[in-house]
Structure 1
Amino acid sequence: GLSQNVFVFGFVSMLTDFSSEVTVKTLPLFLANALGVQPAIIGFIEGFSETTATILKWVFGWLSDRLKKRKWLAFTGYAISNITKPFLYFVNSWPWAAFLRFADRTGKGVRSSPKGALLADSSEKKKMGRSFGYGNSMDTLGSVFGMLAAAGMIAAGGSAMAMTLTRSMYQRLIILVSVPALLTLPLIAFFIRENAPRASNHRTLNLSLRGFDTRFKLFLGIMVIFTLGNSSDAFLMLKAQRAGLDLVQIFLMLAMWKAVTSALSIPAGILSDRIDRGRVIRLGWLVYALVYLGFGFATQGWQVWILYALYGVFYAMTDAVGPALVADMVPESEKRGTAYGIYNAAIGVSALPASLIAGILWQFINPSAPFLFGSVLAFVAMIALTVLINSGKKTERAI
């Protein structure tokens, strides 16, 4: 079975994502439709917020190793994000929105690495994939409920609401998601148990990879290659609009995507416990490469629906299995918080230039270019990971 920490964090993730997915997915639409904010400013808000979260994931991963207090760091991160969400109701300008988006990502940065390390420390090695798969499944299940609720509220506004998001509609969405977000705090406070790591040797914040296994370092490099081609999902939404889908259809499609991810996350995690985790990730990257290739040529709404469903398969095979692979590569409990911080940082730092590159390719070449670029990099990363896995089989610790 699953440990109490893993089980409870699953519900915490579900409630948080019910809230976060609605606010994150609708905020850019609200800024553009209701406040008339230009895409460049929206991009700045998203990019700056994600960069902040990236830095904090690294810092608080190290801090959780140093202080041996993972639970309360995770609680603090959830509190920052979920207490500030209701204030989105009062947003009437982009600086106010930027501040609250920054606060939300700050909370994400504070909690992510301590939570990941706590989950790893609370799981048996042979069940690591199942534990992370369960967490990812509950996380995406919350997203499904959130997207369906958002689509229902938007549709209830009538056909005039289908293509635009007004301030009054956005305010109703904020009211909808605020209470579930706040329920996460007592769950963590009363039902999550601290599982302190052994004393850490990292007395000061160390930004180097010294002391980590070579395979872990190479895996980070491969993740950077892949992530440079994995731009913001906002471009997928833009592609869906170009294919003729309205706002309600897009939210229903996002719910379908998350439902596929939720349904397959636990089986993918269990599969990674039984076979090579690297093999599961490579298969996921192959799906991604083919899906992005398809997005590059898609022109009809039904094509986008199919591609989004397959995109959920990719997420299920990589989102949970990647962190489980990190736990395999960094078996020392006292290093895991730092390792997850570095892992998250590598992905986050790469995500900003990935979206910038995609935007340039979209604007100055054509809208298909970013997807073709992402497909090529996914193939390259898949080949590189294959080489790393084959070389790792010669060591005692197989990936």
Structure 2
Amino acid sequence: MKVINRTVLILSLVSLFADIASEMLYPVIPVYLKEIGFSVLLIGILEGVANFTAGISKGYFGKLSDQKGLRVPFIKGGYFLSAISKPMMAAFTFPFWVFLARTVDRLGKGLRTAARDALLSQNATPETKARVFGFHRGMDTLGAAIGPVIALVLLFFYPHNYTFIFLVAFLPGLISVLLVFLVKERPEPSSTMAKGNFFSFFRYWTIATPEFKRLVIGLLFLALFNSSDIFLLLKTREVTGSDQLTIGAYILYNLVYALASFPMGILADRIGTRQVLVSGLAIFSLVYYLFGTTHSAWVIGAAFVLYGVYAAATEGIAKAWITNTAHNANTATAVGFYTSCESICTLLASVIAGGLWTGFGSKSTFMVTAGAAIVSMIYLLINTQKRVEK
């Protein structure tokens, strides 16, 4: 079986173009919102609501995908919603409309994520899954590196013309939607889980395998302390005093992440997902220690390189490991359950990090997270098997 087959390649290209569109707006949206009258508090509420919508809906749509035994309709709908949200942002500046546009974008992410990951899992074997997810994450993150570069170029030639940037961002988003129509899927067995309300996907825990439970407990413990990357960017801005260097560091992180993802997947398939992911957590702990103790721009740059290596060693690898511990008929539910819980934990983590930063300074935020990573690493070493077979 070819490791990177047609379906995996197309889905990876879809994610590449979708992330170019989304990440073009990442450095633009906060500035745009402030310009049209949003306070910092209102921006925070907007992003919190939008991201929570994406997070909690992943589980629901994952379960629905399993129940219908279909993936592509959810993937198509998800990428379409995200694409159409870009010109929506340019149409009106009313607060309600802006809230609606951002929520539509994040709802699209929630609609597609679990179904897409289940389809990637379907097109891999337990022995090749880390490479498949690593390749996909690499392409996805390459888009995250390209998007901000395009935004910076557009802002240089068209300063403050945010409407134009929103319209340009629609183009790669549209390409991603068109590419999805090239994806084909074979029918999957329908899930045996009973139907229920919006939150019924949480019942997956009652039928999940012991391996899945042990793994997810370790990952979610870290997620509870792994706050938004915005805190890393705030620290970078504090140390460097430069917006350009801060954005450059974020682009550097995404480039390293993109380039290292597939090699990390190859390594994980050879020596085991457990070894690579645990090593990634050790790197993560070092990164947060460096952010907590340094006042050097050079060390911050090195930390962002290591942060890209950590992400490559954990993001795709974790999904490969999770799908290898899930039941075939409930793969999307398993992914949706984990990603929904992760989103809730990340929201709480940002609140915890903000409280620590305000009350005890930035160092406390990073050192607590570094310690949590070590605890999670030790837990996974003790409580998970060296190799997980499906």
Query: What is the TM-score when the length of structure 1 is the normalising length?
Result: 0.91
Matched with 1:5 is 7
**Does the aligned pair in 2 maintain the 1:10–1:134 contact within 8 Å?**
yes
Matched with 1:264 is 260
Identical amino acids, percent of aligned pairs = 29
Q: Give the Cα separation in 2 of the matches to 1:53 and 1:334.
A: 23
Q: How does 1:274-293 map to 2 (within 5 A)?
A: 274-293=270-289
- The alpha-carbon distance between structure 1 residues 236 and 91, as it changes in their structure 2 partners (threshold 3 A), is farther
**Cα displacement string for residues 262-319 of structure 1 (whole angstroms, at most 9, x for unaligned residues):** 1100000111111120111111111111101111123233322221111111111111
Q: 1:144 Cα shift? A: 1.4
Greater shift after overlay, 202-211 or 375-384? 202-211
Matched with 2:163 is 171
- SS of alignment partner, residue 117 of structure 2: helix
- The alpha-carbon distance between structure 1 residues 245 and 8, as it changes in their structure 2 partners (threshold 3 A), is farther
Question: Runs of 5+ in structure 2 lacking a partner?
Answer: none
Partner AA of 2:378 in structure 1: I
**Does the aligned pair in 1 maintain the 2:56–2:341 contact within 8 Å?**
no
- SS of alignment partner, residue 110 of structure 2: helix
Matched with 1:320 is 316
**Cα displacement string for residues 176-200 of structure 1 (whole angstroms, at most 9, x for unaligned residues):** 32101111112111x1012322132
Q: 1:220 Cα shift? A: 1.4
Q: 1:25 Cα shift? A: 3.8
Matched with 1:17 is 19
**Is 2:365 the partner of 1:370?**
yes
- The alpha-carbon distance between structure 1 residues 152 and 280, as it changes in their structure 2 partners (threshold 3 A), is same
Q: 1:36 Cα shift? A: 4.8
1:228 to 224, 227, 230: 224
Q: 1:376 Cα shift? A: 1.0
**Cα displacement string for residues 73-132 of structure 1 (whole angstroms, at most 9, x for unaligned residues):** 111011111111122223535443222111111000000001100110111222111111
Matched with 2:31 is 29
Residues paired across the two proteins, number? 383
Q: 1:321 Cα shift? A: 0.3
Matched with 2:290 is 294
Q: Give the Cα separation in 2 of the matches to 1:374 and 1:82.
A: 34
Partner AA of 2:138 in structure 1: S
2:172 to 164, 167, 180: 180
1:338 to 326, 333, 339: 333
Partner AA of 2:10 in structure 1: V
**Is 2:76 the partner of 1:81?**
no
User: Runs of 4 or more off by more than 6 Å in structure 1?
Assistant: none
- SS of alignment partner, residue 303 of structure 1: helix
Q: How does 1:1-399 map to 2 (within 5 A)?
A: 1=2, 2-32=4-34, 34-156=35-157, 166=160, 168=161, 170-189=162-181, 191-205=182-196, 206=200, 207-208=202-203, 209-330=205-326, 332-389=327-384, 392=385, 397=388
**Does the aligned pair in 2 maintain the 1:121–1:195 contact within 8 Å?**
no
Q: Give the Cα separation in 2 of the matches to 1:284 and 1:311.
A: 9
Greater shift after overlay, 147-156 or 291-300? 147-156
Q: Give the Cα separation in 1 of the matches to 2:122 and 2:231.
A: 36
- The alpha-carbon distance between structure 1 residues 172 and 249, as it changes in their structure 2 partners (threshold 3 A), is farther
**Does the aligned pair in 1 maintain the 2:23–2:147 contact within 8 Å?**
yes
Partner AA of 1:188 in structure 2: V
Query: What is the TM-score when the length of structure 2 is the normalising length?
Result: 0.93
Q: 1:174 Cα shift? A: 1.7
**Cα displacement string for residues 215-247 of structure 1 (whole angstroms, at most 9, x for unaligned residues):** 211211111110111101111111121123433
Q: 1:29 Cα shift? A: 3.3
- The alpha-carbon distance between structure 1 residues 100 and 72, as it changes in their structure 2 partners (threshold 3 A), is same
**Does the aligned pair in 2 maintain the 1:68–1:197 contact within 8 Å?**
yes
Q: Give the Cα separation in 1 of the matches to 2:12 and 2:226.
A: 26
Q: 1:16 Cα shift? A: 0.4
**Does the aligned pair in 2 maintain the 1:66–1:200 contact within 8 Å?**
yes
Q: 1:35 Cα shift? A: 3.5
**Does the aligned pair in 2 maintain the 1:151–1:252 contact within 8 Å?**
no
Q: Give the Cα separation in 2 of the matches to 1:171 and 1:305.
A: 32
**Does the aligned pair in 2 maintain the 1:228–1:353 contact within 8 Å?**
yes
Q: Give the Cα separation in 2 of the matches to 1:10 and 1:245.
A: 36
